[in-house]
Amino acid sequence: MASDLKIRVRDGWQHTLRTILEQARSLGSQAVLAFDLDSTLFDNRPRQARILREFGLARAVAKLGACEPHHWESGFDMRGAMRNCGLSAEEVEALFAAVRAFWLERFFTSDYCVDDVAIQGAAAFTHAVVATGAHLAYVTGRHEGMREGTVECMRRNGLVVPGQGRVHLLMKPSERDNDDAFKRAAHARLGELGTVIAAFDNEPTHANDYLHRFPAAKVVHLATDHSGRPVVLRDEIVSVPHFAHDL
């Protein structure tokens, strides 16, 4: 899964980020840069840990009640997190359905997404993008019901918030909408803003889709974690571990 893609990070990846900013400065308001949120600009593990802790406290499962972000080696592997908290494989399977239902009621909400923390260098990079005069578009599979919490989390973590200048937040109208279909539909909206010169996403499917729709753009894959779908990233896509570099 995610660890397999981390080996794609090559020495000199920082140059890609610097080059993107240079191109954005040269184009100014004509340039558009698109960013996913979850596992791209934000680390969701604090939100995940909070949900497991609350389940543990509600159901008197002490080991889950002590869950911390580091127990989530991957933001998508709930069983692994439960094992890392100290549960046996049998205990994990006995509780998994209940934990999953508890998680579904909370994860996709404003009240919980405020716990996310920024990926290293993400806040500074969004400010660097805005300083070029380019459009910055957050394109996320989060739904509109999470807008308030999402913007508050951006503010808490020092990211540029939507509504300031050329900063946009594109979200699914409904939680029921398919993430892949929404992001493909969002491509047209990005094209209306200007020339898409770069797109950042952790999901191989979405990164490949960006390159298919905008072949002249630099597509950057965040080698954090992903859903685990067996999708091969196109060779032209550069993988980076985070956004921290010499701006």
Provide the β-strand partners of residue 198.
33, 218
Report angle CA 207, 244, 29 to the nearest 5 degrees.
Answer: 65
Q: How far is C-alpha 211 from the geometric centre of its chain's CA atoms?
A: 18
Closest CA to 132 of 219, 241, 17: 17
pLDDT of residue 75: 67
The answer to whether 140 and 173 are in contact (CB under 8 A) is: no
Among candidate residues 150, 70, 76, the one with its CA nearest the CA of residue 108: 150
Q: What is the pLDDT of residue 74?
A: 72
In order along its 247 residues, the chain shows pLDDT tens digits of 344 667 788 899 999 999 999 999 999 999 999 999 999 999 999 999 999 999 999 999 999 999 999 999 876 799 999 999 999 999 999 999 999 999 999 999 999 999 999 999 999 999 999 999 999 999 999 999 999 999 999 999 999 999 878 999 999 999 999 999 999 999 999 999 999 999 999 999 999 999 999 999 999 999 998 887 888 999 999 999 999 976 5
Residue whose C-alpha is closest to residue 154's, from 201, 116, 107: 116
Token digits of residue 212 = 């298919």
Spatial separation of the C-alpha atoms in residues 247 and 136, rounded to whole Å: 17
Question: What is the pLDDT at residue 102?
Answer: 98
Cite the beta strand spans of the chain per DSSP E: 31-35, 42-43, 117-118, 135-143, 167-172, 195-201, 218-222, 238-240
Report pLDDT for 183: 93
User: What pLDDT does 164 receive?
Assistant: 79
The pLDDT score that the predictor gives to residue 1 is: 39
Instruction: Name the burial class of residue 54, with classes exposed (0-12), middle (13-18) and buried (19+) by CB atoms within 10 angstroms of its CB.
Output: middle
